[in-house]
Amino acid sequence: MAEISHSNVNNPAPDYTLVIFGASGDLTQRKLIPAVFSLFRQNLLPPGFRLIGYARSEMTDQQFRTRLTESLTEHCPDCSSENPAWKKFIDCISYCPGQYDSPDNFAQLAQRIHSSGSANVLFYLSTPPSVFVPIIQGLADSGLSKPPQNGFARIIIEKPFGRDLASAQELNQHIRRAFREEQIFRIDHYLGKETVQNLLVFRFANSIFEPIWNNKYIDHVQITVAETVDVAGRGSYYDQSGALRDMLQNHMMHLLCLVAMEPPHSLKADAIRDEKVQVLRSLQPLTPESVDSSLIRAQYSAGKVKGHHVPGYLELEDVPNDSKTETFAAIKMFIDNWRWSEVPFYLRTGKTLPARVTEIGIHFKSVPHVLFNLPDAPASPLPPNVLTLRIQPNEGMSLRFQVKVPGAADDIQPLTMNFGYADAFGDKPPEAYERLILEAAEGDATLFTRSDEVETAWEFFAPVLQCCNQNNSKPLPSYPAGSWGPAAGDELIERDGREWYLTRRPVSPKAVESL
Ligand code: BG6
């Protein structure tokens, strides 16, 4: 990883061309172009930077630029297409229409790249996974996957990376026939989030947490990724994926690894990724029997989210009306190593939940002997300390602890100490894609997933996926949109005498807009 405290301004990548496959798609307009434009505005692109969009739709350079200009303000609220910077930026963008399996079209692309001035190239596969293999093949056959002398040819691959262990292994084999591992950047945009990167800083740039970061002091860990959005408009993709493949196997496993990993010996990509893989290898394997008691899946039915009616998942046009795809998943996992033995990790994620919130809760053990009681619950144990890492929104951290209420009585009360990024640093954190594109252009793979990481995560989920397939004849529990998921999702943790916990945090005015 480029050193966290350093700005890349002083160390820009050499001139290169970014080629986006799937350039007419939603991700390009919604995330990639605003991210690259933002890099341009911060002077983080080299002077000879060029962007070529590649997709099947027939369009001229000018039509492509007009399309991007029209969508800019919608996806980048603080951008204006009237901005002189945009007018300058758009000049470096061109478009190359082509099929994903046509040698002629790849030859045309090669010509475009060569005439763009720089031989360095960063390919971005932002297409449906069904065309990953033909594109990779096309790049290999046209010679584009081969780095030029003293230069680079790198490839960023969007998720989903496979849909199970076998397909991920197959995809890895295909890519490795064309690219060496150091040329490959499997993207997971969660790793580009500031708060996710801060997990490493929090854990390894402070000395006070490490001594208590283990099963002696930690009772359990909760990771919640709740979304208010439904899957309208993405049903055909989502129905093949579901919460397990869309969120749990990738984004949430990265969060878990960063919380649970051992200190790496350096910030080098492989040092960090080695430690993450160790966590995945230490996950207690699930068996068909344990899946039943450790995993809850459910699907949303019609309801209201933030006052708006949301049709049920099965009512969506592009979803089969007998679909058994889960839109909510909760799982209990263990990590079998000295640090985490016997500490349950509870993970849950869902669509159409009442709030958009991603939090990691580190729940410490209760005090061993109670000297004080809460005035309104004299016989209860004291609420334990909870350290919450707020990934989004209202990015920050809080720590719940007990304080004495001023006065003659020995009354105590749990309070929360709060740190908010917006209060400390002002601006909203940069978009994950900005950092990731920059890191790939610099050849730093720390924030990308290595092949063994992706395969080990799939390996863990293999029995889970197998059980889901076998149980496909059984009805899937449902939960109304706007609720916190099915009752079984709460029971998963409550039967262990615990409960889901999200911080009731003071929201700073600067953070409100991102809620
Ligand atoms: C994507 C998933 O990878 O992440 C989406 O495909 C999900 O279904 C999204 O909504 C969540 O990302 P974020 O950054 O909004 O938490």
For the stretch 172-226, pLDDT in tens is 999 999 999 999 999 999 999 999 999 999 999 999 999 999 999 999 999 999 9
Average pLDDT of the residues in 248-273: 97
Parallel, antiparallel, or unpaired: how do β-strands 93-97 and 295-301 relate? unpaired
Distance CA 122, CA 113 (A): 11
**Atom 8 in ligand 1: residue holding the nearest Cα:** 246
For the stretch 107-133, pLDDT in tens is 999 999 998 778 899 999 999 999 999
The Å distance, Cα 99 to ligand 1 centre, comes to: 28
Is 70 exceeded by the pLDDT of residue 415?
yes
Residues with CB under 6 A from ligand 1: 159, 227, 229, 246
Probe ligand 1: pick from 32, 190, 433, max atoms within 8 Å of CB?
190
**Omega within 30 of 0 (cis) for the link into 393:** yes
The Å distance, Cα 70 to ligand 1 centre, comes to: 24
**Atom 9 in ligand 1: residue holding the nearest Cα:** 247
**Atom 15 in ligand 1: residue holding the nearest Cα:** 227
For the stretch 29-51, pLDDT in tens is 999 999 999 999 999 999 999 99
- Residues ≥6 apart with Cβ < 8 Å to 49: 15, 16, 17, 18, 40, 92
- Three-state DSSP at 222 gives strand
Retrieve residue 140's tokens. Answer: 């290999």
Distance CA 481, CA 227 (A): 11
| Residues carrying an active site annotation | 251
Percent of the chain residues topping a pLDDT of 90: 77
Other beta carbons within 10 Å of 12:
17
Are 352 and 481 in contact by the 8 Å Cβ rule? The answer is yes
The Å distance, Cα 189 to ligand 1 centre, comes to: 8
pLDDT score at 8: 45
**Atom 5 in ligand 1: residue holding the nearest Cα:** 246
Distance CA 479, CA 121 (A): 47
**Omega within 30 of 0 (cis) for the link into 160:** yes
Atom of ligand 1 nearest to the CA of 190: 14
H/E stretch holding 282 reads helix 269-282
